[in-house]
Amino acid sequence: MNKFLFFLITLFCISCNQVQYGEKNELGFTYYFNSISGDNSNIGIRDKPLKSLDFLDNINLKEGDKILLANGSTFYNTINLINKNGIEISNYLFDDYSEIPTINSKAKIAAVFIENSSNININNIEIIANGGGANEFLHKKLKTDLRTAVLYLVTNQEVYNNLDISNVKIRDVFYEDSGFIRAKKEVRTPNGTQSYGWGIRVLNLSENGNLENIIIQNSSFENISHSAIRFIGKRENQFNNLKILNNKVFKSGGPGMVFNSCKNLLAKNNDINSTGSTDDSRKWGRGSGLWTWGSSYALITQNSFQNANGPADSAGCHIDFNCNDIIVEKNLSRNNAGGFIEILGNNYNCSYRYNVSINDGYRVKGEDNAFQEGKTFWLSGYIGRGRERNGPFNSYIYGNYIYVGSEITPKIAVDKNSKGVFVANNIFYFENDPLMVLGDQYKPDPGGKLEIENVFFKNNLFLKDHWPKDVLIQPDDNFYSDAFYKSFLDNAGLLEENNIFPTNHTYTYPYPKYFEEIKIDYINGDSKGLWKGF
């Protein structure tokens, strides 16, 4: 009896002496970290911060908890959020340090690794990860090792909600150390076969699980080995409700943003420049500013896509196959090697409208390792290697300003499997006569004469009558006038003395009185239905 009583007293004393880390907040606890003045013997409150992120292994994070990192600090460990709910990662001010805190995830899989978690907020931090090679930890469901700033995985059958990443600066993310040189053939693979560095990468590796309600905003991405933002989901169970707003991407080795299997996407006010960069031998060296695949109901608006580079693809914004109801509108597309309009096969009800395109599609097949022509205008039936071409269906191209200068030969490709093509109220200013080329996604389509069903190609303005006669869609009832064209552009404020569009102009589409506004009426909700008419 006495021994049992002694045991209870001892147990009570131990529990009374157990340390409580962090400060209580309105929902949970706040844990403070400071790499400069902190100490892991502290209790993690503002006046006594912890020093290193590896101490998080001793804390059972719960809903409402916050991880606050002191400005001016640099940390080296991954923050793991696995099966967590309602966690915030942010900064706090400390003394006179003005720089936001940095997490250096060199040689780690990620700075922030998230799996099967909801209500995660990340804001006001910087992430770098310049090399390090193979990770000690590789998730069993990942096929290839990688390095990321933020990695989110769905690996079970649950639906998770609310990932919010705001005001985050991500730069210098590479898998290999400096000096690694990729073989030239690597850039000829669809997305690369080797390990790379990525900015934000979100993967659905489950059969029925999903992630919904995602915001990435006011963040910057610079000098990334592959893509800055990349979603890879399930076509039958798409990521749902995405807002990608006011971000900047500069010199990514791959595409700026990739939305694979996403639904209800708004990509707005993003500035994407120099994708497919080759200024570091560790980069992939190919990529459009933004592209979608297997996605539905997207509005891509008021973005800037400039200087995309690569031997294939590398348009400003292209719509890859298996999409429906994708709208690309009111964007600036400038100096992109791959081109301006690119709609691949098995796409339904996709639109390019009210955009400005300047000197897009300058790439020449066979030069500088290029295996695909750059194209100003491309409707492709490509749906994957070895598969019979199909579509696209119901492609709407209207209200665009398209300028191609004297250094470039504009190239046009329209697949004979296209059905439903609407081209109206555009201005095509080609200094040189355009050429027809075959679609050449890895292997040129066979071409051939075939009348495309449901074509409306009217009320456009051309410099002269030089649309290639062998293209399978031909303009009808259009305007051809050099003087009229220049006068119109000059009045709209879009023409400088050297006939080049100014890059600092705010581009709008005023619907000039010369054009007839044509109302589009197609079958909403039926992604495979053809348009009713006009």
pLDDT 10s digits, 417-441? 999 999 999 999 999 999 999 988 7
* CB-based contact 250:217 (threshold 8 Å): no
pLDDT at residue 487 is higher than 70: no
> What is the distance between the alpha carbons of residues 297 and 349, in angstroms, rounded to a whole number?
10
pLDDT at 215: 98
Residue 137: predicted pLDDT: 76
pLDDT (0 to 100) of residue 443: 75
> What is the C-alpha to C-alpha distance for residues 521 and 349, in angstroms, rounded to an integer?
11
pLDDT, greater one: 324 or 487: 324
Write out the E strands in 304-418. Answer: 304-306, 317-319, 324-329, 332-334, 339-343, 348-353, 356-358, 375-379, 393-398, 401-404, 411-414
Confidence of residue 502 (pLDDT cuts 50, 70, 90): very low
* 345 exposure class (CB count in 10 Å sphere: 0-12, 13-18, 19+): buried
Residue type at 391? G
Predicted pLDDT of residue 490: 59
- Does the pLDDT of residue 172 top 50, yes or no? yes
First CA to last CA across the chain, in angstroms?
A: 93
Percent of the chain residues past pLDDT 70, beyond the cut? 86
- What is the C-alpha to C-alpha distance for residues 383 and 74, in angstroms, rounded to an integer? 46
What's the pTM?
0.89
Closest by CA position to 279, among listed 174, 201, 185, 192: 174
Name the residue with higher pLDDT: 495 or 460. 460
The answer to whether the CB of 89 falls within 8 A of the CB of 132 is: no
Using alpha carbons, select from 302, 429, 431 the residue that is nearest to residue 354: 302
Token representation of residue 476: 């009808």
Where residue 2 falls among pLDDT bands split at 50, 70, 90? low
Lowest mean pLDDT among 285-289, 467-471, 485-489, 515-519: 515-519
**Distance from C-alpha of 318 to C-alpha of 415, rounded to nearest angstrom:** 16
